[in-house]
Amino acid sequence: MQKKSILIIEDSKFITSFIFKSLKNDYDISSSLDPEEGLRKYFDEQPDLVILDIMMPKINGIEILKKIKDFNPKTGVIVTSGRTLAQDYQLAIESGADFYLFKPFSPKRLQQVVDNFFSGTLKLGSYEELVEENKKKAKISYLPPKHNKNSYIKFWGTRGSIPVSGKEYISFGGNTSCLEIRRNDELIIIDAGTGIHGLGYDILNSGIKTIHLFIGHTHWDHIQAFPFFTPVYIDHFEINIYAPKGFGMSVEDLFSGMLRREYFPVKLEEMAAKFKFIELADFKPLQFGDIKISYDYTIHPGITFGFCFEIDGKKIGYATDNEFLTGYHSDPHKIKDNDSILEPYRHLIKMFKDCDILIHEAQYLPQEYESKVGWGHSSIPNAVALIRLCNIKHWIVTHHDPIHTDDFLKNKLQIHRNILKEGNIDCFVELAYDGLKIPM
């Protein structure tokens, strides 16, 4: 008996030789890598079966399929394709294909389809059956590495000075400073700006009982929403408040002073939570479960701390208010590691050195900074110098100026990038916004 003949029209050399190897020797097989030549070959050789790729250059495989079926409807055509959309399947079947085989296919599957065609038992599967078969091929779906959903940092307030609201502040938000650091049942909060209001509701039913609240300094934008932090009114919460030891007033006095009757109807001693006030002065790192926190002075009016925390081998720096290189207006790239101008900042460079993420302000454009020296905030170029000196690869800018609208901040971000690029500094920079959450 004469061998049955098969023509492969397929523009991939690799797949063509794969098909050759997949099929038994009892077929007479020829092939063409070029669709136009393949069609000519079809008319010359008039094979019994064509294995046709439908995604090829120059001519669409569907057109070839139609020409084959117009010439001789009895020629079998098995369409093979990496396109697995229902529309592609439908079009091929309506154009006369005898079978639609999803790529990639196994040698066994191809042999089976070809054998069934020649024995007259090839049954055209429905699209759904093909999809199902394809799923089985994958056997186990890929799963990405897991991360702990209860381990993250989240920005609840990213604004300095005063909260802002309105349509100009939708992207970045308008709440003043508040950062949540969470690792399972350990909760650390830095600052009680207006962002803490939403955080308070978020933790009410979280099972958390102990809250460690750090205050970087006691300017309004870092404490103003403390009376609106709902856990202070609930007796099962234990709230430990850590703040820099001041000159004169104790931390507890600062908080009770803010809650005097003239300012607010509920006094500190009338609040239901259990409070403990801890004055930070010895610069010894603190440990809460898996989280280690250290702190040091930043350059800001009054006593102000920047923080560094370590979670799961990652080191994150945090400074919302820090005027790095006070009064410096020149090129930030010219400052060398051993420059004497850096002397007042050595401790900060040391603390933030090699942080995986540095969260640090850069409140002013260079031209704004000219009239704001001594206000306690950095210009963008001076903050870039800190980024370079500390070898930071990921910088999140926070504590945005209240007059900087969304549109302004988006343009400002580009200025950070331009300065980094100009100094060949390999660092990803982004702007914090209210709600930004980073898994740890």
Q: Which residues bind Zn ion (CB under 5 A)?
A: 160, 219, 221, 321
Q: Judged by CB, which is closer to Zn ion: 98, or 321?
A: 321
Question: Is-contact 359 317, C-beta < 8 A?
Answer: yes
- Nearest-10 crossing angle of helices 61-71, 86-94: 20
Q: How far is the CB of 104 from Zn ion (least distance, A)?
A: 58
430: its two tokens: 């982004």
Torsion-angle region of residue 161: left (phi > 0), alpha (psi -120 to 50) or beta? left
Q: Judged by CB, which is closer to Zn ion: 79, or 409?
A: 409
Q: Judged by CB, which is closer to Zn ion: 41, or 217?
A: 217
Task: Give Cα 188 distance to the centre of its chain.
Answer: 22
Torsion-angle region of residue 210: left (phi > 0), alpha (psi -120 to 50) or beta? beta
Q: Judged by CB, which is closer to Zn ion: 180, or 221?
A: 221
Q: Judged by CB, which is closer to Zn ion: 182, or 219?
A: 219
Q: How far is the CB of 221 from Zn ion (least distance, A)?
A: 4
Q: How far is the CB of 234 from Zn ion (least distance, A)?
A: 28
Q: How far is the CB of 213 from Zn ion (least distance, A)?
A: 16
Q: Judged by CB, which is closer to Zn ion: 183, or 399?
A: 399
Strands 274-280, 238-244: parallel, antiparallel or unpaired by DSSP? parallel
Q: Judged by CB, which is closer to Zn ion: 100, or 305?
A: 305
317 bridge partner residues: 308, 358
Q: How far is the CB of 361 from Zn ion (least distance, A)?
A: 8
Q: How far is the CB of 371 from Zn ion (least distance, A)?
A: 18
Q: Which phi and psi (to 5°) does residue 323 adopt?
A: -95, 90
Q: Which phi and psi (to 5°) does residue 150 adopt?
A: -100, 30
Q: How far is the CB of 193 from Zn ion (least distance, A)?
A: 8
Percent of the chain as helix, strand, coil, to the nearest 5:
35, 25, 40
Q: Judged by CB, which is closer to Zn ion: 38, or 163?
A: 163
Q: What is the dihedral of CA 250, 253, 255, 258, to 10 degrees?
A: -130
Q: Judged by CB, which is closer to Zn ion: 219, or 315?
A: 219
Q: Which residue is nearest to Zn ion (CB)?
A: 219
For 131-151, give the DSSP string: HHHHHHHH-S---PPP--TTE
Question: Is-contact 225 199, C-beta < 8 A?
Answer: no
Q: How far is the CB of 190 from Zn ion (least distance, A)?
A: 12
Torsion-angle region of residue 391: left (phi > 0), alpha (psi -120 to 50) or beta? left
Q: How far is the CB of 182 from Zn ion (least distance, A)?
A: 22
Q: Judged by CB, which is closer to Zn ion: 321, or 401?
A: 321
Which runs of E-coded beta strand occur in 22-75? Answer: 27-32, 49-53
CA dist., res. 374 & res. 234, Å (int):
41
Q: How far is the CB of 305 from Zn ion (least distance, A)?
A: 11
Q: Judged by CB, which is closer to Zn ion: 211, or 319?
A: 319
Q: How far is the CB of 303 from Zn ion (least distance, A)?
A: 11
Q: How far is the CB of 326 from Zn ion (least distance, A)?
A: 15
Q: Judged by CB, which is closer to Zn ion: 91, or 299?
A: 299
**Cβ count within 10 A of residue 174:** 20
245: its two tokens: 């030891």
Name which of 118, 121, 114 is nearest 51 in CA terms: 114
Q: Which phi and psi (to 5°) does residue 18 adopt?
A: -65, -40
- Distance of CA 306 to CAs 104, 156, 294, 354, Å? 56, 18, 9, 15
